[in-house]
Amino acid sequence: MLGWPVVLAIWTVPALLSVFETEMFLAQNGHSVALWRVLLSEVPPWYVWAALTPLIFRMGRRWPLDRMPPRAGNIAIHVSASLAAGAIYAAVAASLSMAAGRARQALPIDILDWWMSGLPLIMLSYFGILGIGYALVLRSELAVAQLGALRAQIQPHFLFNTLNAISALVRDQETRSALATLARLSELLRSVLASDTAHEVSLGEELGFVEQYLGIMEVRYSDRLRVSYNVPAELRTARVPTFVLQPLVENAIRHGIAKRTEAGRIDIAAQKIGDRLVLTVSDDGPGPNGTTNGGVGLANTRERLKHLYRESTVELAGGASGAIATITMPLANG
């Protein structure tokens, strides 16, 4: 959900507005009160709501109101909880008002007065926090659904290409190679299903998947496909999205290997630059044909990275010979 720094920053805004409003009211009525007294009486009560925010989020998940129609019991629980939260708020506010020398009544009466007069604001604050919690959950679920949809587009894409490769082997009457490719494809699909719920894996696991995929391609292209890896051991624990490299590798094979008769090379590398992880897949083929988009696979990879990380890029460019696809993303170790 929200970290403590964010929660405190959010509740600091109404706290400072409350200080400003009180200062203006006192000035208009000809009263002079030391600023520290106003701060003491106005700011801490708002931080009561900051302290209660995570608890209200948890209660919202435990007794949900976002399902229609909401259960009457859940509504009663939240109304009771809002009144209890208001009592805590009123007790803190009244106590601080007394400490600042601004109370005019006995503490119990002052607490009741704060609670009764502030009831609309109390209800608004409690159910406002609850609504924000549901909005954050909905946003998270939407992001997961979008990631799943993008990933679902990538999986059939490589599967159809692999089946096309097997069809080509059968058509060329290379039965042994076709059977070997089918066996490798079954192992590959087993890996895909095993990681079906994970949006991130270690770079080492992702490279293992790519090696399985390239094993299938090597059956089809035989000596025409050469692959090299330059990935430092310390980066193999870095967290990366599942299937982040496969579309880049598939793109390199399609445009750098498949369209030529001589042998071609694919280089897969990873390096750390500052706090960023940089992944590259390059080939020595003819290079990009006037576009740097890279097709559906790279477009989906861009979208997935955009959802997962704030700062990430996927670029396709021409190298000294061939093409080079580069992913830049935050470096996070598992």
pLDDT value, residue 269:
95
Average pLDDT across the chain, whole number: 79
Name which residue leads in pLDDT, 196 or 5. Answer: 5
User: Is pLDDT above 60 for 155?
Assistant: no
User: Is pLDDT above 60 for 150?
Assistant: no
Delimit the domains of the chain by residue range.
4-117, 144-330
Question: b/e per residue, 315-324, with b = 16+ CB within 10 A?
Answer: ebeebeebbb
> Which residues, other chains included, contact 33 with Cβ-Cβ below 8 Å and sequence gap of 6+?
26, 102
The DSSP 8-state label assigned to residue 255 in this structure reads I
- Mean pLDDT along residues 259-288: 88
User: Is pLDDT above 80 for 54?
Assistant: yes
CA distance 71 to 331: 44
Q: Quick one: 144-330 is in which CATH superfamily?
A: Histidine kinase-like ATPase, C-terminal domain (3.30.565.10)
Q: Which helix (H) or strand (E) holds 268?
A: strand 264-273
Q: How confident is the model at residue 294 (pLDDT cuts 50, 70, 90)?
A: low
Least confident residue range of 95-99, 144-148, 199-203: 144-148
CA distance 263 to 239: 33
Least confident residue range of 59-73, 148-162, 164-178, 319-333: 148-162
Q: How confident is the model at residue 311 (pLDDT cuts 50, 70, 90)?
A: confident
**Cβ(188)–Cβ(216) below 8 Å:** yes
Chain-centre distance for alpha carbon 276: 17
Least confident residue range of 107-121, 195-209, 213-227: 107-121
CA distance 77 to 63: 8
The DSSP 8-state label assigned to residue 253 in this structure reads I
> Which residues, other chains included, contact 304 with Cβ-Cβ below 8 Å and sequence gap of 6+?
147, 150, 151, 241, 244
Token pair of 268, please? 């897969």
User: Is pLDDT above 70 for 156?
Assistant: no
> Which residues, other chains included, contact 76 with Cβ-Cβ below 8 Å and sequence gap of 6+?
none
Q: Is 199 exposed, middle or buried (0-12, 13-18, 19+ CB in 10 A)?
A: middle
CA distance 294 to 283: 14
Name which residue leads in pLDDT, 150 or 219. Answer: 219
pLDDT digits (tens, 9 = 90+) for 96-146: 777 766 666 667 776 777 777 777 888 888 888 888 887 777 666 666 655
pLDDT value, residue 307:
75
Q: How confident is the model at residue 238 (pLDDT cuts 50, 70, 90)?
A: very high
- Mean pLDDT along residues 9-15: 79
- Mean pLDDT along residues 50-61: 87
Other beta carbons less than 10 A from residue 266's beta carbon: 24
Half-sphere exposure in the Cβ direction for 309 (13 Å, CA): 20
